[in-house]
Amino acid sequence: MLVPLCLLFSFNLLHAKPTFPELTGRVIDNAHMLDDAIEQRIAARLSQHENATTNQVVVITLNNLGGYVNLPILVPS
């Protein structure tokens, strides 16, 4: 009985989706982790990147992941 419950719980966590805020800019600091100067520096770098590559990148900080455990983490090589 315990194994099926654990599998069901794991399945639900793996398929949970975090709730993202409305996109209002390049940097959305919902977790209030960034001071204004850092936020502006990040936004400026993202703007430069977009102008150079046409790729749009958004940085979002969240208070929690809402149980979602499968977020991809991109690390520069």
Q: Which residue has the tokens 């979602």?
A: 68
Does 37 reside within a domain? Answer: yes
Does 33 reside within a domain? Answer: yes
| Sequential pLDDT tens for the chain (77 residues) | 444 444 444 444 455 566 777 889 999 999 999 999 999 999 999 999 999 999 999 999 888 777 766 656 666 65
Tally of domains in the chain: 1
Does 10 reside within a domain? Answer: no
User: Which residue range(s) make up the domain with 56?
Assistant: 20-66
Does 43 reside within a domain? Answer: yes
Does 62 reside within a domain? Answer: yes
Give pairs for 14-17: CB < 8 Å, separation 24+: 14/69, 14/70, 16/66, 16/67, 16/68, 16/69, 17/66, 17/68
